[in-house]
Structure 1
Amino acid sequence: MTAEATEASLTRDRSSLRDRSGGGDGERPLRIALLTYKGNPFCGGQGVYVRHLSRELARLGHTVEVIGAQPYPVLDTDDAPAGPQASPAPGRVTLTELPSLDLYRQPDPFRTPGRDEYRDWIDALEVGTMWTGGFPEPLTFSLRARRHLAAHRGRFDVVHDNQTLGYGLLGGPGVLGAPLVTTIHHPITVDRQLELDAAPDWKRRASVRRWYGFTRMQKRVARRLPSVLTVSGSSRQEIVDHLGVDPGRIHVVHIGADTGLFSPDPAVAEIPGRIVTTSSADVPLKGLVHLVEALAQVRTDHPGAHLVVVGKRAENGPVATAIRRHGLEGAVEFVKGITDRELVDLVRSAQIACVPSLYEGFSLPAAEAMATGTPLVATTGGAIPEVAGPDGETCLAVPPGDAGALAAALGRLLGDQDLRRRLGAAGRERVLARFTWRQAAIGTAEHYRRAIARAGAARRAGGA
């Protein structure tokens, strides 16, 4: 089946999918509180998740109030912020701002707030944790969210936490006013271990341990959660292994690409030698340094090969060091702050999209690149193979952390137009069939209803 036929089939099935999800199944639409302590989609996958999931839940007829802190989410809303009392109308997305002290904002990260900025003891805790080298936001956001939800008891049918995993979210419906469902994209302990492995000395390792001190809280909270959603089978196993969560409480709901936005467009000219990748931070997890090293090798046979990185360049990080070492200053470009449309056109213009990560809990960049029909080179780190598919069929797959293997795959694709076309078309079909935000919203809503039913049964049993 072609990509166009698959897309048409999904469109024909829309009404039946709606009936399965809620809002069209004879049950009333749900009122959802979606919590995100860091929701800007340009800061990583959590923000992308909140934006697209909330939109598709609203399209299914549910009401979604996103409750977030800085950097605030970018949402497809009705442009009417939720007031302190009135609930938004069904089928709409609104944003309620629950501000932190924003201690890591640019251009003055790790700032000391003025006396007039302190509002309560949670603010003092936030500053004190930062001063001791820790990262306070998951804990302090959870405490503010707990207070907010308690003040609006009865407003929501379900509370959906997007990987805050803070102590403030424990206590069940009696405290939060509604049953809790939590998404864990992947355990942050994975990031912690990769940074520890890459640390050059004991001072850096001590700093990493202090910064990731919040993961001890997240592990304790995760073990007490009644319902956990995750985005891949790989992440599910990591949550069991790293966080000790009962596997019977963990459910996989794949996320996906916005296949209407991320789509092929023959009018966008392909730029010879262009390789595009996304890297939200210069950290070992993203594997960008290995891609830079691979680019240096590729340019021996393909001197026009160049890399465009969607993300911010760290001037003194390991990637910048590798670029200087290999003399690639003119062959690597970083772009940030671009619109969705500009991002899509950038991916369309590339001959190759690359995901060099050592680990991913899902890999939205892989799904989005495949949706545009751009051929993909990706590692086998974490859940990436679940998204990208079999080597040689829907992508070229290489071991994580292997610059030589990356270089060989990139060089092979740059030199074979027919292979690029075949992998691009097969990748698009795979995403349409498996990884769309509508399918993610339907699966998520089904778990909301199960959580609500479990909470109701427990309440009745307790009353009896």
Structure 2
Amino acid sequence: MTAEAMEAGPRKGSGADDDRPLRIALLTYKGNPFCGGQGVYVRHLSRELALLGHSVEVIGAQPYPVLDEGAGPGNPRLTELPSLDLYRSPDPFRTPKRDEYRDWVDALEVATMWTGGFPEPVTFSLRARRHLRARRGDFDVVHDNQTLGYGLLGDLGAPLVTTIHHPITVDRQLELDAAPDLKRRLSVRRWYAFTRMQKRVARRLPSVLTVSGTSRQEIIDHLGVRQDRIDVVHIGADTRLFSPDPAVPEVPGRIVTTSSADVPLKGLVHLVEALAKTRTEHPGAHLVVVGKRAEDGPVAQAIERYGLEDRVEFVKGITDAELVDLVRSAQVACVPSLYEGFSLPAAEAMATGTPLLATTGGAIPEVAGRDGETCLAVPPGDADALAAGLNRLLGDAELRARLGRAGRERVLRKFTWAQAAKGTAERYREAMSRSAATNPGRPAATATYSGSHR
């Protein structure tokens, strides 16, 4: 099957009662939408699947997913599958009290943390397997959101579909490349030890979804998954929320980006350097970063080195409406990432009609489109190119308006959550048909769960 065929949208004739509403278990080991793209994915996909008439139960651990109400005949609902929450604020890497331990999985979680590893993918998968097996018959399909843990191998009582946004081995390599010394490199290797498990699990998965053609190739190259097991279903922006609003005033010189200062992959340090260069031509240029500020590290050092303490602002914990208005108010939205498996910030900025400056890292060009048509595109990791793009956009109102209009039209045409939900549901039915063909004796799920949930 070609990549073009897999990206063409929903396919008919997959069997498994094409029109019957499905009962979906959507798993996420880290689901808060303010913690990254996985939480955004769960929130919007669950809402749009519910609007299609499906029953969606999100099963997640801390930080718990935020789900939208008012979606279709039945809201997506949350079932909490708690971890020990070892990385919570304000006491991350905490040691649990004796009465917090419930079973051997909890002990494994703490022991992995103590040795410098990240335990949540494997421990969540083990808890999820136990939960799903106890509820055999409640679901038509199980959808895992990139846990890729050992516990999800074997019989879960329903066919398994797994989303891999992009291989975490990419993040691992970029952090290793950015590590300043041997001590930091050893720490990175310990933290990312779970990627060995994810690679072993991924190769055994029958049905993988990913969000871009670039991620599909990375999954083949990095994880060794067979290409005929991978389907591309693009995700997108909530275009009802992220939309233009002429009533929101444009702030001269404002540049907006979404990034955490402690994640090298996001390329923020290069944007800070570009801002310093841009201010020689546009003294009013300033940067608003939606994300976490690091008190030390390359970004903090760059801000201090270039004297930008009052020109770079970090904001966290803002509402959806505040985020949208912030993006609308910017003269430029920027995605300086070294790599992205998709880039929701790019799609969301384009949906508001804000002109986009983005790198060509990873799948960003699939989202942002052609340089000069729907965005300005520059090579990743190139502060001079970013500065040139910023200068060009800040100095040309007509170019900003043209790119803003074209960007929104592109998102409406290709990248919406409604389209993502339709494509995902079709892949569910294909997985169910394959499972029925290979397990003809397995009875269909018929039970209705009435247990507690949030």
Please tell me the TM-score bracket, short chain as reference. over 0.9
Aligned equivalent of 1:190: 170
Amino acid paired to 1:239: I
The answer on 1:441 being equivalent to 2:421 is yes
Long gaps (5+) in structure 1: 1-16, 80-88
Of the three residues 406, 419, 425, the one matched with 2:405 is: 425
2:76 corresponds in structure 1 to 93
Instruction: Tell me the matched-pair count.
Output: 433
Counterpart check, 1:146 vs 2:146: no
Identify if the C-alpha distance between structure 1 residues 294 and 18 changes in structure 2 by more than 3 Å, giving closer, same or farther: closer
Structure 1 residues 347 and 462: alpha-carbon distance in aligned structure 2, compared to 1, 3 A threshold: closer
Whole-angstrom CA distance in 1 between matches of 2:358 and 2:141: 37
2:90 paired residue number: 107
Aligned-partner Cα distance in 2 for 1:66–1:460: 28
Structure 1 residue aligned with 2:199:
219
Instruction: Check conservation: 2:208, 2:230, Cα contact below 8 A.
Output: yes
Q: Does 1:282 align with 2:262?
A: yes
2:285 is the alignment partner of 1:302: no
One-letter amino acid of the counterpart of residue 147, structure 2? T
Question: In 1, distance between residues paired with 2:11 and 2:266?
Answer: 39
Shift in Å, 1:237: 0.3
Q: Determine which of 359, 378, 383 is the counterpart of 2:339.
A: 359
Which of 359, 377, 380 matches 1:400? 380
- Distance verdict in 2 for CA 1:26–1:112, change over 3 Å: closer
Q: Counterpart amino acid of 2:241?
A: L
Equivalent position to 2:187, from 201, 207, 232: 207
Is 1:63 equivalent to 2:52 in the alignment?
A: no
Partner of 2:148: 165
Instruction: Kindly provide the CA deviation profile for residues 184-223 of structure 1, in whole angstroms up to 9, marking residues without a partner as x.
Output: 0000000000000111111111000000000000000000
Answering whether residue 28 of structure 2 is matched by residue 45 of structure 1, we say no
* Distance across 1 between alignment mates of 2:280 and 2:164: 42
1:239 aligns with 219
Which residue among 29, 48, 52 is the counterpart of 2:21? 29
Shift of 1:312: 1.2
Q: Is the 8 A contact 2:261 2:268 kept in 1?
A: no
Indicate how the Cα distance of structure 1 residues 203 and 74 shifts in structure 2: closer, same or farther if over 3 A, else same: same
TM-score, normalised to structure 1, is 0.91
Cα pair distance change 1:200/1:21, threshold 3 Å? farther
Take 1:401 and 1:354, find their aligned partners in 2: how far apart are those partners?
13
Shift of 1:317: 2.2
Residue in structure 2 matched with residue 118 of structure 1 by the alignment: 101
The structural deviation recorded for 1:77 is 3.6
Q: 1:323 aligns with which of 303, 307, 316?
A: 303
Residue 242 of structure 1 aligns to which amino acid in structure 2? H
Equivalent position amino acid for 1:163 in 2: Q
* Residues 349-379 of structure 1: CA deviation (Å, up to 9, x unaligned): 0000000000000000000000000000000
For the structure 1 residues 130 and 21, does the alpha-carbon distance in structure 2 shift closer, same or farther, using more than 3 Å as the test? Answer: farther
Q: In the superposition, relative to structure 1, how do residues 349 and 121 fare at CA in structure 2: closer, same or farther (>3 Å)?
A: same
Kindly state the Cα deviation for residue 282 of structure 1 after the two structures are TM-superposed. 1.7
2:237 aligned to which of 243, 253, 257: 257
**Structure with the higher fraction of residues in helix conformation:** 1
Amino acid at match of 1:67: I
Q: CA deviation at 1:265?
A: 0.2
Is contact 2:148-2:197 (8 Å) kept? Answer: yes
Q: Which residue of 1 aligns with 2:65?
A: 73
- Which digits, 9 at most, give the CA deviation of each residue in 1:159-197, with x for residues without a partner? 0000000000000xxx21100000000000000000001
* Contact 1:18/1:60, CA 8 A, preserved across alignment: no
Change (3 A) 1:462 1:34: closer
Contact 1:271 1:351 in 2 (8 A): yes
CA contact (8 A) 1:20 1:442 kept: no
C-alpha deviation, 1:407, in angstroms: 0.2
Residues 19 and 59 of structure 1: is their aligned pair in 2 closer, same or farther, counting only changes over 3 Å? Answer: farther
- Distance between the aligned counterparts of 2:245 and 2:92, measured in 1? 40
Deviations 1:259-298 (A, max 9, x none): 0000000000000000000014521100000000000000
Q: Answer yes or no: is the 8 Å Cα contact 1:78–1:94 preserved in 2.
A: no
Between the aligned partners of 2:233 and 2:297, the Cα distance in structure 1 is 35
Contact map agreement 1:60 1:91 (CA 8 A) in 2: no
Q: Write the letter of the residue equivalent to 1:235.
A: S
Q: In structure 1, what is the equivalent of residue 253 of structure 2?
A: 273
CA contact (8 A) 2:327 2:354 kept: yes
SS at match of 2:42: helix
Amino acid at match of 1:168: G
Identity among equivalent positions (%) equals 83
Structure 1 residue 92 displacement after superposition = 2.8
- What is the DSSP-based 3-state SS (H/G/I as helix, E as strand, rest coil) of the residue aligned with 1:460? coil
| Equivalent pair of 1:21/1:442 in contact (CA under 8 Å) | no
2:210 pairs with one of 219, 230, 233 = 230
Q: Is the CA contact 2:68–2:75 (under 8 Å) kept in the aligned structure 1?
A: no
CA contact (8 A) 2:11 2:426 kept: no
Distance across 2 between alignment mates of 1:118 and 1:213: 24
Q: 1:98/1:78 Cα in 2 relative to 1: closer, same or farther (>3 Å)?
A: farther
After superposition, the C-alpha distances for 1:377-419 in whole angstroms (9 at most, x for unaligned) are: 0000000000000000000000000000000000100000000
- Supply the AA of the counterpart residue of 2:204: R
Cα distance change, pair 19–233 in 1 and its aligned pair in 2 (3 A):
closer
Structure with higher RCO (Cα < 8 A, 6+ apart) = 2
**Whole-angstrom CA distance in 2 between matches of 1:246 and 1:20:** 23
Q: Which amino acid aligns with 1:52?
A: H
Equivalent residue number for residue 7 of structure 1: none
Q: What is the CA–CA distance in structure 2 between the aligned matches of 1:127 and 1:281, rounded to whole Å?
A: 27
CA distance in 1 between counterparts of 2:136 and 2:31 reads 24
SS at match of 1:129: helix
